[in-house]
Structure 1
Amino acid sequence: MDFIFNMLPLFKIMFVFICMLIGIRFKLGVGLSVLVGGLVLALITGMKMDLLLETTTSAIIDSETIYLVLIVALIMFLSGLLECTGQASRIMESLTGYLRSPRLRLVFFPALIGLLPMPGGAIFSAPMIREAAEGLDVSDSNKVVINYWFRHLWELAWPLYPGMILGAALSGMSVFKFISYTFPGPIVVFLLGYFFFLRSSVLPLKKGVHDNIEVKSGNALRAVKESLPLLVAIAGSLVFEGLFSFISPNIPFEAAIITALFLAVLCAAFANTGSIAIIRSLLVQKRFISMVFMIFCVFIFKDVLGSCGLITELSRLAGGETALIAAAVLVPFVVGFIAGITMAFVGAAMPLVVGLVHSMGLTPQLPAWAMLCMFSGFAGIMASPLHICFLLTCEYFNVDLYSAWKRILIPSLVLLCLGVAYFFVLV
């Protein structure tokens, strides 16, 4: 009986996450599911209504929340402008002449589209994979796994992904410090993709077949011109962060990203006619509103979790190790697997991981636990058969979902194991 009583905090948090997963499974939406989880958490921990209202209000008006909303909004404006005006396609066309290797051509387009954090972006690169594979002996099944896997090459280390920005914000790091820990992610993803999908024994391209394929010469000036918004967004973030920190250490690091993204949006807007109308339409899109709502819900959940006292209870459980391992491995993997969305597992698991790490006096180990959470969750979303990019790619190439999913599952589980190994390196 004492054992059951001692395990009660773990049962409570498991119940909260089950409620979230049920909401996600029945398409309640990630934001609303997280918000419901926060309300359930408040109820089962006996949190008073006045404290709940105060915590919710504080989370909504917190500067960290507002900054993140602005960053995500600007990212969506930038990716929306590049997509709707056709500039993303022009970027790819301008770079095609530099791609002589047939394997490189197959990987390049999904990887390039992966630089734009567009939901379902794999459907954007699928036609390019088909064109790049023209004249090559590549099955539709191979096109599916290559397009899907390499579309997500950068997701663990690219500063324009909202999931990365949210993970950095929740763990109290700047985006670039966070990336200094996640940077092995793309390397590992590329190597796994090469081993499982590209090596000659798996993808035996005909010898010399690329000699018959005409590749236009590259135009460096055009490539730079078309890629300018992306260059401004990335390089500008680095430059402005250094400049602002030199001017005053009190300027938040988010200000550098917001400034760079704003300038990048202006670059894209001035380069394309009709940009104002596109931005207006993006503002009222369901996707945009859902993303902003999700951010508010995640920060409400984070603050409720911190105020209800459950983290303190969990940290006492078996020395806290059981709860912390579950929070950093099991929870993000399961949420990622069911939702197929990075923001979902980061928003659900990272507040719990950070809270437990601090309450157990393991703050110096926070980067290691945060990386374990990120790699576990990312492995979950890559293994998810519900991932929208996976579903869209299978539909586009008319490939059986189960047969393609079996090929994705093993490298995803290997990615999880390598994430655990990386944790032991950091800790």
Structure 2
Amino acid sequence: MPTVPALAQVLIVFALVVLAAARKVHLGLSAAVGGVVLALWRGLGPLEVVRVALAEALSPDTLLLVALMACIMAFSGAMKKSGAMESFSKTLAAVSPSPRFAMAAAPLLIGTLPMPGGAILSAPLVDAMDPSRERSAASLSAANYWFRHGLELAWPLYPAFILTASITGLDAGRLIALNLYAVPVLFCLGLVFILPAPGRALAKAVAPGAAPGEAHGEAHGAAPATEPLRTRFAAFAAGIAPLALVLGTYMALGALWGAISPALGLGPSLEALVARFAPIFLGLLAGSVYLLSGPTGRGAFKGSVGPATLRLIAVIVGIRVFSVLLSTAGVAAAAASELAAAGIPSIAAVAALPFVAGLVTGIGFGYVGLAFPIVLGLAPVGGPLPRESAIVLAGAFGYAGMMLSPLHVCMVVSAEHFNVGLVSIIRRFAAPLAAFLATAIAYASVLALWLP
């Protein structure tokens, strides 16, 4: 009986996993089962498969990753319930240089909180910033969706970012540096293609529920535009304070740990584990203490960990099992060798696999968890394609697939709010998305020349 090539095995199992996910089978379950099937197919014994899967699911890295996801989702929910994010968004309108900029910045900054379907939080704000309907509903919906995900590749609180760092072994600072290019590129492309400067000035926007005569930024609870600039910025700072505490503590402790850890003599694994998780946990603690001291107190955190968080945790565990079984079975390395022997450039698979995974799952950690273990095998350390360049390229194409996916909850809720079809939204951001991919290819090519 002829041996099935490793690449064919990968593609068959990959197709079955994404088909199951598209059929509403839980992504974590389908990924874990797919990993088990592939490992058995590659010749691993059943007991070895169980041992490897359990060891990964119960490893300190996986357990800390699960705990971090739960804490981030709880903090995101508390920011919403406490009213801090609403206050922050409303005062943003008062300090922005123009309604157009505020219309882009509101979903972008709300996007700092990675919650499922989070575009529904920013949709009313974007809607209210164009009361005279200078722009079409499809354009507003596309703007809300596009800018809501402008930070996804470089923001350390996103599950996809955290999973990328975990799978690739890159520290958060390095991954931010590699993907930081995407933030200004996506923002500028969105302004040019989705929110072009109108022929005449936009009417001053009103906040949700405000009277038609209220000026831009005069939302309830926000500093009106007629207030002194200092007052408006003070209100803005109060709204952003919890998030600023999280990030400030995270960055400060990360830098401090980098300075003192060599003198502590910890083992490499423990040192990496502390560096990856301790600063962000303590940052979330600082932000949470601030929220607890506010008017809502503990009520802000009531019910903040719900079914959506538990589903996310199950997905992460399943993806980690999928990843470790692929690695143990040597699938990625074998597939890379077969591609090289067939004369097919690895870079084609590095781009295509994350794109397809993003398209069929519609979630960031979906394309990272399913495709990145294979991508790393296609770009081994010291290979012709620098690994970090491959990670950048794979991230960009996975992001593009996710943005185009009709399964992406944020696109669905944004379309529902503005009462437009998904196709009309996609038409509005197809051009900037293509331009972003072209930019990512050029950037990854430059990295490939510069990186060792």
Report Cα offsets for 1:112-161 as digits up to 9, x if no partner.
21111111111111111111111351221111111111111111111111
| Corresponding position of 1:82 | 79
Residues 71 and 261 of structure 1 are in contact (CA less than 8 Å); yes or no, is this contact kept in structure 2?
A: no
Q: Distance in 2 between matches of 1:98 and 1:326?
A: 45
| Corresponding position of 2:14 | 17
Are the structure 2 counterparts of residues 384 and 425 from structure 1 closer, same or farther at C-alpha, using a change threshold of 3 Å? Answer: same
| Corresponding position of 1:214 | 215
- 1:302 corresponds to 2:347: no
Residues 354 and 371 of structure 2 are in contact (CA less than 8 Å); yes or no, is this contact kept in structure 1?
A: yes
Alpha-carbon offset, residue 306 of structure 1: 1.0
Report Cα offsets for 1:144-191 as digits up to 9, x if no partner.
111111111111111111111111111111111111000001111112
| Corresponding position of 1:331 | 353
- 1:426 corresponds to 2:423: no
Alpha-carbon offset, residue 298 of structure 1: 1.5
| Corresponding position of 2:111 | 114
Residues 400 and 433 of structure 2 are in contact (CA less than 8 Å); yes or no, is this contact kept in structure 1?
A: yes
Identity %: 30
Secondary structure of the structure 2 residue equivalent to 1:147? helix
| Corresponding position of 2:51 | 54
| Corresponding position of 2:284 | 261
Letter in 2 for 1:374: G
Q: How many residues are matched?
A: 418
Secondary structure of the structure 2 residue equivalent to 1:157? coil
Alpha-carbon offset, residue 278 of structure 1: 5.2
Q: Distance in 1 between matches of 2:345 and 2:32?
A: 22
Of the candidates 191, 196, 207, which is equivalent to residue 188 of structure 2? 191
| Corresponding position of 2:401 | 380
Residues 19 and 36 of structure 1 are in contact (CA less than 8 Å); yes or no, is this contact kept in structure 2?
A: no
Of the candidates 30, 48, 65, which is equivalent to residue 62 of structure 2? 65
Alpha-carbon offset, residue 365 of structure 1: 1.5
> Which stretch of the first structure deviates more once superposed, 173-182 or 207-216?
207-216
| Corresponding position of 2:91 | 94
Of the candidates 419, 424, 430, which is equivalent to residue 398 of structure 1? 419
Are the structure 2 counterparts of residues 257 and 208 from structure 1 closer, same or farther at C-alpha, using a change threshold of 3 Å? Answer: closer
Q: Distance in 2 between matches of 1:182 and 1:103?
A: 26
5+ residue gaps, structure 1, are none
Q: Which TM-score applies when normalising by structure 1? A: 0.91
- 1:247 corresponds to 2:269: no
Of the candidates 427, 430, 433, which is equivalent to residue 412 of structure 1? 433
Report Cα offsets for 1:231-284 as digits up to 9, x if no partner.
011111110011122222343322111211222122222224253x5545233x
Alpha-carbon offset, residue 386 of structure 1: 2.2
Letter in 2 for 1:346: V
Report Cα offsets for 1:327-386 as digits up to 9, x if no partner.
42111101111111000000111111123323x742981110111110010011112222
Q: Distance in 2 between matches of 1:408 and 1:60?
A: 38
Secondary structure of the structure 2 residue equivalent to 1:253? helix
Q: Distance in 2 between matches of 1:84 and 1:327?
A: 43
Alpha-carbon offset, residue 100 of structure 1: 4.0
Residues 350 and 390 of structure 2 are in contact (CA less than 8 Å); yes or no, is this contact kept in structure 1?
A: yes
> Which stretch of the first structure deviates more once superposed, 389-398 or 258-267?
258-267
Letter in 2 for 1:231: A
Of the candidates 38, 42, 49, which is equivalent to residue 39 of structure 2? 42
Q: Distance in 2 between matches of 1:80 and 1:269?
A: 13
> Which stretch of the first structure deviates more once superposed, 213-222 or 170-179?
213-222
Report Cα offsets for 1:180-236 as digits up to 9, x if no partner.
000001111112212211223xxx352474498723235333322232110011111
Residues 163 and 343 of structure 1 are in contact (CA less than 8 Å); yes or no, is this contact kept in structure 2?
A: yes
Q: Distance in 2 between matches of 1:40 and 1:373?
A: 25
Q: Distance in 2 between matches of 1:179 and 1:302?
A: 22
| Corresponding position of 2:209 | none
Of the candidates 229, 235, 239, which is equivalent to residue 242 of structure 2? 229
Alpha-carbon offset, residue 29 of structure 1: 2.0
4+ long deviations beyond 6 Å: none
Q: Distance in 1 between matches of 2:86 and 2:283?
A: 22
Q: Distance in 1 between matches of 2:351 and 2:126?
A: 34
Q: Which TM-score applies when normalising by structure 2? A: 0.87
- Counterparts of 1:149-168 in structure 2 under 5 Å? 149-168=146-165
Identify, as 1 or 2, the structure richer in helix: 1
